[in-house]
A and B are shown apart, each in its own frame.
Chain A
Amino acid sequence: MSRQVGQSRWHAVLVNAGLLALAVVSLAPLLWMVSVSFMPAGEASRFPPPLLPSGSTLANYQALFARTGMGRNFANSLLVAGAITLGSLLVNTLAGYAFAKLRFRGRDRVFQLLLAALVVPAQVAMLPLFLMMKQLGLVNTFGGVIVPALAGVFGIFLVRQYARSIPDELLEAARIDGAGEWRIFFRIVLPMLKPVLVTLAIFTFMAAWNDFMWPLIVLTDQENYTLPVALASLSREHIMDVEMMMAGAVVTVIPVLLLFLLLQRYYIQGLLLGSVKG
């Protein structure tokens, strides 16, 4: 009996040590980034590499905003991700509700087609999309990033899954009372969808904020770059300025990381709703 107790204690120690090791590996690069961003210029390139700044300084952040125009890129990212989030939230919610609760001809076939489209990698569309954007005069504009992202199959799917739980009797009762479809949507449906709207908003904002390949293609001037594109280009020019680049990484990562920490319950729910239960 005591051998068994000893074994299970060992087991508990191993489990928690394993988790601790994984947590250290997961967080160390991020903590190192924050630490280096406060180091005086040149300190991170010494040997042995210091873990903590000798004296903390904001000089890297000042240099970043003064010399590289990263403030402008930050504003671009905020604008682009914000517009995509607001716009696609409305568009996807309308469609998701329609596919769940409104009967219209061809509904199920169209939805099947949307799901089938999920197997096509987004990059297949990018080359012709660039030519289209050129025709529309949207190359090197925020519109070129925002417009194609205004609807997405994942978002429609997420809302549809959730909206299916709205009782039909509720909608029928409103119709008998003479309420129009728009009124029903904004007065009855939208309030009931609030949790999934929060989930979808976080997902969309983070995906838009972190997106790299399409903004890299469609935005051609440094002053129009979003943060990831600007950081990729700066890190090539300023490869030796470790401290300043880490300040740039902090500015890029911290907003989405904070958003996740504040709203992670919704985020994880959406992740599961979108993958396993689908």
Chain B
Amino acid sequence: MTRSLAGWMFAGPALLVIGLFFGLPVLSALALSLTDFDLYALADAGNLRFVALDNYLELLRTPMFWKSLWNTTYFVLVGVPLSIAVSLGAALLLNAPAARFKALFRTALFAPVVTTLVAVAVIWRYLFHTSYGLVNWALGHLGVPAVDWLGDPRWAMPTIMLFAVWKNFGYNMVIFLAGLQAIPQDLYEAARIDGASRRQQFLHITLPQLGPVLLVVGVITVSGYFQLFAEPYVMTRGDPLQSTVSVLYFMFEEGFKWWNLGRASAVAFLLFLIILAVTTAMLRVGRRRGLV
């Protein structure tokens, strides 16, 4: 067996699976998005017609698509900075020389990351219940009137943001922690000798040194948050008043509830293009500032 043949044989099974069950479907999705594939075409492929960009143009005239895009953008715009701030704060606390029981705390803060999203979403639904949820009960002691967290269109998305931050912050925390530990200690020593305060050390040493890590974490988190789906599916079903319908939730309903697979594919591709544009812009800005 020649070495080149061995290489292809070893890599072959993986390439076959990825090509067949990911590469091919992605290309098919592009083709599907240019057709009117619906329930009739599902029954008989003879009903399939090529419609060029009609699906895309029609989506741009669909208020529900814009609503879902706005809801998702809102989730990304508030959720990502909040989640990164909490992750960074937790990492700074864990990295502080004064912190005790570091391993124990790290495990505790990371635990939500490994839990099953659906299961913890169900827990949160009860904790944030208007009349017998623990959250309103605790807030009641502080004199805050009961909030209809998941039933009020103003509060449903913020509640989902809080949930997402709780579930995810541990992941980026671990990455930040590794980044913090890689910063040379003599930088801090020199700054202390010059009389720099903790705040100054954070602003002028920690943040710039953490720049590349922040950029990578930002890009990964933005792209993940744009893919919001299971949280609204379990916690609100897109309600109240469709205030938590995300782009993927809209795609799921179009595709697997109404079987408009052509339209749904167009939704998926638009989301992909949006994510690509936003993350590319982030990387470009980061590169200009010399982060990568």
Query: Are B117's CB and A228's CB within 8 A?
Result: yes
CB distance from A129 to the nearest CB of B (A): 4
Beta-carbon contacts of B22-57 to A below 8 Å, as 1s and 0s? 111110110010000000000000000000000000
Q: How many angstroms between the C-alpha atoms of A115 and B228 in the bound complex?
A: 23
B271: A residues at CB distance < 8 A: 121, 123-124
Closest to A12 in B: B98
Q: Mark B242-286, 1 if CB is under 8 A from A, else 0.
A: 000000100110011000010011001101100110010000000
Q: Mark B91-104, 1 if CB is under 8 A from A, else 0.
A: 00110101111000
* Contact call A156/B98, Cβ cutoff below 8 A: no
Task: Given A232-B233, A276-B213, verify A210-B117 contact (CB < 8 Å).
Answer: yes
- The prevalent SS among residues of B at the interface is helix
- Tally chain A residues at the interface, Cβ within 8 Å: 95
Tell whether, in the assembled complex, residue A98 and residue B10 are in contact, meaning their CB atoms are under 8 Å apart: yes
CB of B90 within 8 A of CB of A268, answer no
B15 adjacent to chain A (CB < 8 Å)? yes
Tell whether A252 pairs with B119 under 8 Å between CB atoms, given A16-B99, A94-B11, A150-B17: yes
B126's contact among A25, A44, A229, by CB below 8 Å, is which?
A44
Give chain A residues whose Cβ lies under 8 Å from the Cβ of B251.
123
Q: Distance (Å) between the CB of A133 and the closest chain B CB? A: 9
Closest to A152 in B: B18
A103 with B15: in contact, given A47-B131, A268-B174 (CB under 8 Å)? Answer: no
Determine if A114 is an interface residue (Cβ-Cβ < 8 Å).
yes
Q: How far is the CB of B219 from chain A (nearest CB, A)?
A: 10
Closest to B227 in A: A121
| Interface 9-residue window, one of B58-66, B68-76, B105-113, B200-208 | B105-113
Q: Which residues of A contact B279 (CB under 8 A)?
A: 119
**C-beta contact mask, A146-174 vs B, less than 8 Å → 1, else 0?**
01101111001000000000000000000
Identify the closest chain A residue to B233 (Cβ).
A232
- Chain A residues lying within 8 Å of B264, measured Cβ to Cβ, are 127
Tell me, rounded to whole Å, the shortest Cβ–Cβ distance linking A83 to chain B.
14
CB-based closest 6 A-B pairs: A104-B7, A95-B14, A98-B10, A128-B28, A12-B98, A125-B25
Further contacts, 19 of them, CB under 8 A, given A18-B93, A232-B234, A245-B122: A19-B90, A33-B123, A92-B14, A102-B10, A114-B18, A120-B26, A124-B29, A125-B21, A125-B22, A130-B255, A131-B28, A228-B119, A249-B122, A249-B123, A259-B114, A260-B111, A260-B114, A268-B110, A276-B216
Residues of A within 8 A of B (CB): 8, 11-12, 15-16, 18-19, 22-23, 25-27, 29-30, 32-33, 36, 44-49, 51, 91-92, 94-95, 97-99, 102-105, 107, 110, 114, 117, 119-132, 147-148, 150-153, 156, 180-181, 185, 206, 209-210, 212-213, 216-217, 227-229, 231-232, 235, 242, 245-246, 248-249, 252-253, 256-257, 259-261, 264, 267-268, 271-272, 275-276
